[in-house]
A and B are shown apart, each in its own frame.
Chain A
Amino acid sequence: MKRIIIDREKCDGCLNCNVACISAHQEGSNFYTVNLQGVDSETRNFIKFDSKTGYTPIFCRHCDEPECVLSCMSGALEKDPETGHVQYDETKCAACFMCVMNCPYGVLKPDTRTRTKLIKCDFCEDKKDGPSCVAACPKKAIEVKEVSL
């Protein structure tokens, strides 16, 4: 499967990945028109900063054994057997957020405005150039690579 491989040393915390993710999921926006103050301004990837360890990129792994899928009581989260990516169907979700509780890396979150849906990386499956965050990273700290399951 394809996974976003992270080289933490290369990350300089510019947050272009955040902006790209928000824009990719905000209808009609691009890097220049993205509304970061909008109620739908939600990033699916996170950069943590610590004065000792520097920048730490935290991105959904679409895990081999996804705990989120194994906690979903509505069938909204499924690992696609073809792509290996964990996809989310908003129409099925009942917003219990047991997936948020069970993600060992704390990647998942409810939507801030309504708390009725999950905010989760979809690998920009609808975009021909792949994940928007990867395309936006000026340091190549994140790259899409083929990994064996």
Chain B
Amino acid sequence: MKIVIIGASAAGITAAKTIKALDQATEVVVISKESIIHSRCMLHKYLDQERDEQSVSFVPQDFFEANAITWLKNTRVLGLNTEMKTLKTDGNQEISYDKLLIATGAAYFIPPVPGLREATNVYGFRDLKDAQLLDAECRTAKNAVVIGAGLVGMDAAVALLKRGLNVTVIEMMDGIMGLQLDEKSAQTYQTLFEGQGASFLLSEKVVSVDLDKAHRGHLIHLASGKTVPADFIVVAAGVRPSYDFLEGTAIQTNRGITVGDDMRTNIQDVYAAGDVTGLSGIWPNAMKQGKIAATNMLGGSALYTDRYALKNTANFYGLTTLSLGNINPEPEENCDVSIRQDHKNYQKIVSKDGVILGVIFQGDIRNTGFWQYLIKNKINVSGIDKSIFDLSYADFYGVDKETGEYHYAV
């Protein structure tokens, strides 16, 4: 059997690895537009020059050779024929498959702001190529502007600050990392960034960008009337799943390729996994989807049921944070909000009727992994007679006497 995988990031690589671990004899072909395998979560470490092209990889350098996987790098898929089971590449190659996994991920989105899309010095921060283009800009630029203060925008800001640039971050929401943090925990990070020289323009919207003769954006106009000078601009305003090449096929999409719990699409022998499904935008979930798709392509019956995706961690300037679930409840949700803090830590637990809905742990995140289980499985903790902050896995402890594996006794 021949399995073709399009995409070589979390989902694609995990699938390739899983297939080869389960069945050496299956032929695996990975097609990627990239020529260097890299982890997008480490791009800021490339841009700040802590790592090079080799050390932003998340697989060993001999991954493809060692696993006997064919890798077509620098290759884009242009079209797909699901009846003939073939695909066409930009190198005019026609490649056949018995089973196909689409793991093409997502691409950054540049908002339709006058000047922004036209400018030649506006970049996303998604792939190694983006980081390389930014690296070149950093060599001559003084003023960098980041649009969007989500995790990706803040990753970019960290690297640009380390490169010694003046960094201004523009954000529509009234705090940074608005999806992961509340006012208090966001302010703590903002102060740390400001201490490194960053400036923030919050509750601000970019309305236009002035271009110079070379079509480089050099002045950003905000809705408030303020202007910000820029030598280059990083846009971190979200991503869109990448599946343009499906045009003309009957593969169902809805802001992502539609898949069942088994990661199959509506078309026989075509699977999808990772950000291209629109199910989640985080690395661990993409890996899991890739593994499940691989198992099923080989005739297994794995299901993607662990769909929880409201989770993230941050680690900036030595301050770590875990954020899970609903951390900014609206007043009408009538949630209980418990807060515990000291000079190094801020902890917030949101619950309702004994069920945890969300947590923020900023500072010490030791041994906090169990919270995700409680939240996603809606475990009622009201019967446990202790402070909610003192809960641990020990309160739900179950162990298999034979295998020694843990489980939750709830």
B-contacting residues of A (Cβ < 8 Å)?
Answer: 3-6, 8, 46, 48, 50, 52-53, 56, 58, 61, 63-64, 67, 70-75, 81, 92, 94-98, 100-110, 112, 114-116, 145, 147-148
Contacts and interface: CB of A to CB of B under 8 A. Distances in A.
B39 to A, nearest CB: 5
A74 B404 contact: no
Contacts of B60: 75
Contacts of A115: 315, 318-320
Contacts of B401: 5
Interface centre among A6, A70, A75, A95 (most CB of B within 10 A): A70
Contact of B404 (A6, A67, A94): A6
A110 B404 contact: no
Interface string B312-339: 1101001110101000000000000000
List 4 tightest A-B contacts by C-beta distance, closest first. A71-B284, A103-B369, A48-B394, A109-B366
Contacts of A148: 403
Size category of the B interface is: 35 or more
Given A3-B404, A105-B406, A58 B287 contact: no
A53 B385 CA distance: 12
A105 B369 contact: yes
A73 B368 contact: no
B126 interface: no
Nearest to B59: A75
Nearest to B369: A103
A104 B373 contact: yes
Does more than half of chain B's interface fall in helix, strand or loop, or is it mixed?
Answer: mixed
B163 interface: no
B366 A50 contact: no
B283 A94 contact: no
Contact of B287 (A61, A64, A70, A145): A70
A74 B58 contact: yes
Tell which of B55, B282, B318, B404 has the most Cβ of chain A within 10 Å.
Answer: B404
Interface of B: 10, 14, 21, 39, 41-42, 45, 55, 57-60, 282-284, 287-288, 291, 311-313, 315, 318-320, 322, 324, 364-373, 385-386, 392-395, 397, 399, 401-406, 408
Contacts of A96: 41, 313, 315
Contact of A147 (B311, B365, B395, B403): B403
Contacts, number: 141
Contact of A110 (B55, B366, B403): B366
A107 B369 CA distance: 7
A73 B41 contact: yes
B369 A73 contact: no
Contacts of B45: 94
A58 B373 contact: no
Given A100-B322, A108-B369, A73 B42 contact: yes
B403 A3 contact: yes
Contact of B369 (A5, A75, A102, A145): A102
B367 A106 contact: yes
A70 B404 contact: no
A104 B394 contact: no
Given A56-B397, A73-B58, A100 B369 contact: yes
B365 A110 contact: yes
Contacts of A70: 14, 284, 287-288, 291
